[in-house]
Structure 1
Amino acid sequence: MAGNMTEGLELRRMGSGVIIVAAGVALAFIAIILTAREGMTEWSYALTFGALIAIGEMVQFRVDRIRNRAPIATSAALGYAMLRGPSVEFPPDVAQIVAVTAVATVAGLLPRAIAGLGWDIVVSSRRGISVACAAAVFAALVPSDLDWTGRWQDALWLAGAMLLAVLSAGISDALIGAGQATERHNRPFPAALRDELLVMGRIGLAMGISGILLACGTALLGLWAPPLVVVPLLLTQFAFRRFASAQRTYRTTVRSMARSTEIAGFSSPGQNARTAQLAVALGHDLGLAPPRMEALEYAALLSGVGQLALADPSPGGASLLRTREERQRAAEIGASVIERSGVLDHVAEIVRHSNDPYRHGRANNADIPLESGIVNVALAYEQLVGEGTGQSPGKAMESIGLGIGAEYDPVVVESLRRVIGRGFDF
Structure 2
Amino acid sequence: MKVPALPFPARERRVAVEVLVAASAVMALIARVRGLEGVALAGVALLVGAGFLLTARTPIGTVPLGYALVIALACLMPPELFYPVVSLGVLAAVPVLFFRYDAADTGKRVLHWALVSYAAGGAAAVMRLIVPGTSPMRTLLQVSVAGCIFLGTDLVLRNWRAPRAELIRLRLAAPVYLSLLCAAGLIAVAYRRDGVGTALVAVVPLVLTRFAFDRYAAAQAAYQQTIKALSIVPEIAGVTPLGHGERSALYAVAVSRKFGLSDDSVERAATAARLHHIGYVTVDDPQEATHRGDRRMLAGLGADILRQTRFLADVGDLVEGIHSTHPRFHTREAAAVRVATMFDHLLDGDTSRVEGGLALVAASQKDAYGSAAALALRMAIEEDPELVDRAVASAAPLTEAVDGTPGRHG
After TM superposition, give the deviation of residue 94 of structure 1 in Å.
5.1
After TM superposition, give the deviation of residue 265 of structure 1 in Å.
1.1
User: What is the rounded CA distance, in whole Å, between the counterparts of 2:348 and 2:121 in structure 1?
Assistant: 54
After TM superposition, give the deviation of residue 171 of structure 1 in Å.
2.7
1:156-175 matches, cutoff 5 A? 156-175=137-156
After TM superposition, give the deviation of residue 337 of structure 1 in Å.
0.4
1:346-361 matches, cutoff 5 A? 346-356=314-324, 360-361=325-326
Work out whether residues 94 and 139 of structure 1, in 8 Å CA contact, stay in contact via their aligned partners in 2.
no
Q: Does 1:69 align with 2:37?
A: no
Aligned-pair identity in percent equals 21
1:190-269 matches, cutoff 5 A? 195-196=169-170, 198-269=171-242
1:43-62 matches, cutoff 5 A? 43-62=38-57
After TM superposition, give the deviation of residue 324 of structure 1 in Å.
0.4
Offset from partner CA, 1:235-274 (integer Å, 9 cap, x none): 2211211121121111111111111111211112111111
After TM superposition, give the deviation of residue 97 of structure 1 in Å.
4.9
User: Which shifted more, 134-143 or 250-259?
Assistant: 134-143
Q: Which amino acid aligns with 2:97?
A: L
Residue in structure 1 matched with residue 249 of structure 2 by the alignment: 276
Equivalent residue of 1:412, what SS? Answer: helix
Q: Does 1:332 align with 2:296?
A: no
TM-score relative to the length of structure 2? 0.75
Residue in structure 2 matched with residue 23 of structure 1 by the alignment: none
Offset from partner CA, 1:315-373 (integer Å, 9 cap, x none): 9xxx7xx10011111111111101111111221121111123xxx45xx54x6442211
Q: Does 1:312 align with 2:285?
A: yes
Residue in structure 2 matched with residue 99 of structure 1 by the alignment: 87
Equivalent residue of 1:395, what SS? Answer: helix
User: What is the rounded CA distance, in whole Å, between the counterparts of 1:371 and 1:233 in structure 2?
Assistant: 38
Equivalent residue of 2:195, what SS? Answer: helix
Structure 1 residues 178 and 287, CA, compared in 2 at 3 Å: closer, same or farther?
farther
After TM superposition, give the deviation of residue 112 of structure 1 in Å.
3.7
User: Which of 118, 134, 140 pairs up with 1:148?
Assistant: 134
After TM superposition, give the deviation of residue 223 of structure 1 in Å.
2.9
Residue in structure 2 matched with residue 132 of structure 1 by the alignment: 118
Structure 1 residues 107 and 56, CA, compared in 2 at 3 Å: closer, same or farther?
farther
After TM superposition, give the deviation of residue 74 of structure 1 in Å.
1.0
Q: Does 1:394 align with 2:362?
A: no
Structure 1 residues 160 and 45, CA, compared in 2 at 3 Å: closer, same or farther?
farther
Gaps of 5+ in 1: 1-35, 85-89, 150-154
Offset from partner CA, 1:271-321 (integer Å, 9 cap, x none): 111111221222333333322222222111111101112332449xxx7xx
Structure 1 residues 309 and 211, CA, compared in 2 at 3 Å: closer, same or farther?
same
Q: Which amino acid aligns with 1:298?
A: T
After TM superposition, give the deviation of residue 147 of structure 1 in Å.
4.9
Equivalent residue of 1:265, what SS? Answer: coil
Q: Which amino acid aligns with 2:216?
A: F
User: What is the rounded CA distance, in whole Å, between the counterparts of 2:39 and 2:129 in structure 1?
Assistant: 23
TM-score relative to the length of structure 1? 0.73
After TM superposition, give the deviation of residue 383 of structure 1 in Å.
0.7
Structure 1 residues 91 and 382, CA, compared in 2 at 3 Å: closer, same or farther?
closer
User: Which shifted more, 44-53 or 273-282?
Assistant: 44-53
Structure 1 residues 308 and 120, CA, compared in 2 at 3 Å: closer, same or farther?
farther
Residue in structure 2 matched with residue 372 of structure 1 by the alignment: 334
Equivalent residue of 1:353, what SS? Answer: helix
After TM superposition, give the deviation of residue 385 of structure 1 in Å.
1.3
Pairwise CA RMSD:
3.3
User: What is the rounded CA distance, in whole Å, between the counterparts of 1:158 and 1:296 in structure 2?
Assistant: 44
Work out whether residues 58 and 112 of structure 1, in 8 Å CA contact, stay in contact via their aligned partners in 2.
no
User: What is the rounded CA distance, in whole Å, between the counterparts of 1:304 and 1:396 in structure 2?
Assistant: 21
Equivalent residue of 1:268, what SS? Answer: coil
Work out whether residues 83 and 92 of structure 1, in 8 Å CA contact, stay in contact via their aligned partners in 2.
no
User: What is the rounded CA distance, in whole Å, between the counterparts of 1:323 and 1:60 in structure 2?
Assistant: 52
Work out whether residues 63 and 244 of structure 1, in 8 Å CA contact, stay in contact via their aligned partners in 2.
yes
